[in-house]
Amino acid sequence: MTVQPLSALDSQAGDSDPAPSGAPPDGRSGRRASSSGRVLVLNASYEPINVCTVRRATVLILKDRAEILEIGDWQLHAERFAMPRPMVIRLTTYVRVPREAHRRKITRRAVFARDRWTCQYCGTERGSLTVDHVIPRSKGGPTDWDNVVTCCAPCNRRKGDRLPRQANMIPRQPPAAPHSTIFIHVAVPVIPRSWEQYIPQAA
């Protein structure tokens, strides 16, 4: 099985290879700005591995490096060119992806996405969210998936520098490393319906 370098997926723009004839010229690939849409990228094995722009997906399709599995309800138009708006694409060759890659990177957005943008102490989904160290850093708490939770600003002030027991504030769900598809929830706040069947635990 052929293996492409993972870096082939990473460049969102500025793809230096010339586009095949008939490809939409840069910046004119659709009625909507290409950056406004996101496309779910599946490995050749159908495992979800990335989320990319419509423009990036279009390049992969035109180069025969991906096939369209799901299309949107509008088309990409350019002079002498039209194609369905891809929603889900599948790479034609298998890409080796470090399985734990998405779990290693702890970012604010990833913590919020894991916790569904909900304060893990009071349950609110409103207001400004912060990341709270369950065991405070000042007491040796690490920045690990099992020690960080989404926390609204008022709860964060209330808990302060105290331990959960001291503050009587226990996370509603014990924090843990997210599923490896967390990158999807980070990329899009609401999973499009056409993606659901390709994502484990999407419901």
Interface contacts to Zn ion, rule CB under 5 A: 119, 121-122, 152, 155
Q: How far is the CB of 144 from Zn ion (least distance, A)?
A: 21
Segment (H or E) for 52: strand 48-53
Q: How far is the CB of 124 from Zn ion (least distance, A)?
A: 5
Q: How many other C-beta atoms can be found within 10 angstroms of the C-beta atom of residue 55?
A: 22
User: Could you give the CA distance from residue 42 to residue 194 in angstroms, rounded to a whole number?
Assistant: 13
| 8 A C-beta contact, residue 67 and residue 58 | no
The tokens for 74 are 């509008």
| 8 A C-beta contact, residue 19 and residue 59 | yes
| 104 to 31, 119, 171: CA distances (angstroms) | 37, 22, 21
User: Could you give the CA distance from residue 64 to residue 53 in angstroms, rounded to a whole number?
Assistant: 17
Q: What is the dihedral of CA 124, 178, 165, 150, to 10 degrees?
A: -30
| 8 A C-beta contact, residue 153 and residue 127 | yes
- Give the contacts of 143 (CB within 8 A, at least 6 positions apart): 106, 133, 137
